[in-house]
Amino acid sequence: MDTAFDPRRHVPAPAELHGRVIAITGAGEGIGRAVALACAEHQAQVILIGRKVAKLEKLHAEILARGWPEASIAPLDLEKAVARDYDQLADALLERYGRLDGLLHNAGILGTLAPIEHYDVPTWCRVMHVNVTAAFALTQVLIPALKKSADASVVFTTSSVGRAGRAYWGAYAVSKFAVEGLAQVLSEELAGISHVRVNALNPGRARTAMRRAAYPAEDLESVPLPESLTGPYIALLGPASQGVSGGSFDAQSAPAAAAGAASSAASSS
């Protein structure tokens, strides 16, 4: 891995993603929506994956109205999807585009903030399924499409609580540790046999519904908008990070205040 690469320093060119096909989970709102718009603005063909069709349709219409490359909608409920649903998505993608150049795993759920001793087991299983197992399953069925690309990138959304354990973050933190491991294992497996690179990205503090659920008393004005954080995503999904794999990056610098030390989790939506 290129240890000098820092996606925060990259300034994308206007047509940086021209000709690329990029799939984004959790595209209906929050960071997923912001990154989908940014990818389309930089001329990528975006596949919008999410469970709320109305939100995906609204985003699709917005991309179309701005004159950017037409997006595709791929409804998928990561909590309820079965093997057939994943296979159908992969088949439809290959039939339409013939390959996949980028895959951003942005969808995720918070669960509850509670001590392990009292953590609700069904909630634990649900968080692990959506945040880890579903990401694994979707990646697995899309690897053939990714291998058909001359320069493909998979980006998993991680968190500061998935790098150092923190009390009361429960299943969410453990799921992010698992995501970090999944990204590293997949990077090692695909190295040398494909043009697919795999990295993890921690978005940090962002003004999203998940962030609000984790920090209900926080001053919203102090939290960055998702639209301000898209640069590092473009860097990792586009040609700027070619050859960079197995890394875990940050989308923004850690907050200087002590409160910031516990605040860079729970930002994906």
Residues classed as catalytic: 172
Nearest to 70 by CA among 59, 81, 82: 59
Cα gap 60→134, rounded to integer Å: 24
Q: Would you put residue 137 in left (φ > 0), alpha (ψ -120 to 50) or beta?
A: alpha
Q: Which helix (H) or strand (E) holds 196?
A: strand 196-202
How is residue 165 written in tokens? 């354990």
Nearest to 229 by CA among 49, 28, 31: 31
CB 78 within 8 A of CB 54: no
Half-sphere exposure of 198 (CA within 13 A, CB side): 25
Question: End-to-end distance of the chain based on CA atoms, in angstroms?
Answer: 28
